[in-house]
């Protein structure tokens, strides 16, 4: 091999690791370029959403299931952390772990019966789940604070380092997001991940290859619930105030829209989907006022014209164009 080939081979062999490193470096340096707290606040929200979307994408894109109820797990994490740290005065980090564990158990108890359903039925069941959760948040105001929300959630801290201002939060939240990204990337590049991809493709075929389909679905459901719960805890500690409307069914559908736009089964796409949908209302007031219409419209358009997601869809179109042009040139 020549030197050039060696470098090329190294890059292709380690391309995932290199991309993650590049992204980490970019995020490390980002606050030096952009230190406007408002902008950082938005990118921080992207990080939180990305954690939920990564997990949900495993469930939708790899296990081939659908959930319109992940805002409930997100909310369970947020309210769980809030109650544990304010009412029970637990250490926030410990609370975060405990709550994630409880959410995992909840997901197990819900997942075992609910994942016998599929398609529309599963969508309706998970939607119902989110609706019930949202109603509980509103009605059980002794514990949750009801419609007026939950105040005074403490910030996270390591020793004397309090994660209060946007720049520190930037590093904290993106560290969590990147870690989730790395774990998800590892998972899908493994034998287990291929089993999941098989499951999304065809359940009968996956079972014939030795994939325990029911078990795998429940496991991925739990994993995605844990990630949503962690994101929820971070959300609560970041804003110190939470209210039921951050966890209603429209938020749940927004998570699904982020997955679809990023591309079902595309881990990197999850970041893009979370980014785009979080940014849209910031770019234009129109998107803020008619948010649900716009998001619904985007979902329909993407599903009709680019079912593999915005990024992979556009890339595919580009590749096809290039190949066609090359063929034309060859003929001429």
- Residues of this chain that interact with another protein (CB under 8 A) are 183-184, 186-187, 189-195, 197-198, 201-202, 204-213, 219-220, 223, 265, 308
> Helix, strand or coil for residue 48?
helix
Work out how close the CB of 7 gets to another protein at its nearest, in angstroms, rounded to a whole number: 20
* Residue closer to another protein (CB basis): 61 or 145: 61
Residue (of 110, 73, 125) closest to 218 by Cα position:
110
- Which residues are CB-neighbours of 10 under 8 A, at least 6 positions away? none
The answer to whether the CB of 252 falls within 8 A of the CB of 124 is: no
Torsion-angle region of 309 (φ positive above 0: left; ψ -120 to 50: alpha; else: beta): left
Instruction: Return the residue matching tokens 């580009």.
Output: 318
**Distance of alpha carbon 192 from the chain centroid:** 20
| Cβ atoms 60, 199 nearer than 8 A | no
Number of Cβ within 10 Å of residue 207's Cβ equals 15
């Amino acid at each position: 091999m020549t030197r050039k080939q060696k470098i090329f081979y190294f890059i292709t062999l380690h391309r995932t690791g290199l991309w993650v490193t590049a992204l980490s470096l970019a995020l490390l340096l980002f606050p030096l370029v952009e230190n406007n707290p408002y902008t950082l606040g938005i990118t921080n929200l992207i990080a939180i959403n990305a954690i939920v979307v990564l997990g949900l994408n495993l469930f939708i894109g790899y296990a081939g299931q659908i959930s319109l109820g992940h805002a409930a797990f997100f909310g369970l994490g947020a309210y769980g952390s809030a109650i544990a740290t304010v009412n029970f005065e637990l250490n926030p980090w410990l609370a975060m772990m405990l709550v994630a564990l409880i959410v995992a158990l909840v997901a197990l108890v819900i997942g075992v019966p609910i994942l016998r359903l599929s398609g529309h039925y599963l969508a309706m069941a998970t939607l119902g789940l989110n609706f019930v959760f949202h109603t509980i948040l509103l009605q059980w105001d002794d514990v949750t604070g009801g419609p007026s929300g939950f105040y005074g959630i403490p910030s996270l801290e390591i020793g004397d380092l309090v994660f209060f201002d946007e720049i520190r939060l930037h590093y904290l939240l993106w560290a969590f997001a990147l870690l989730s990204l790395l774990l998800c990337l590892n998972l899908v590049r493994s034998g287990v991940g291929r089993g999941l991809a098989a499951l999304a493709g065809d359940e009968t075929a996956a079972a014939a290859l030795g994939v325990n389909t029911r078990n795998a679905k429940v496991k991925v459901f739990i994993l995605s619930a844990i990630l949503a719960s962690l994101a929820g805890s971070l959300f609560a500690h970041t804003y110190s105030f939470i209210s039921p409307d951050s966890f209603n069914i429209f938020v749940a559908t927004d998570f699904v829209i982020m997955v679809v736009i990023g591309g079902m089964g595309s881990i990197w796409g999850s970041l893009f989907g979370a980014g785009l949908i979080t940014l849209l209302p910031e770019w234009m007031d129109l998107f803020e006022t008619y948010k649900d219409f716009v998001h619904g419209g985007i979902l329909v358009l993407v599903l009709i014209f680019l079912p593999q997601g915005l990024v992979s869809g556009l890339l595919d179109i580009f590749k096809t164009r290039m190949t066609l042009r090359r063929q034309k040139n060859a003929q001429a």
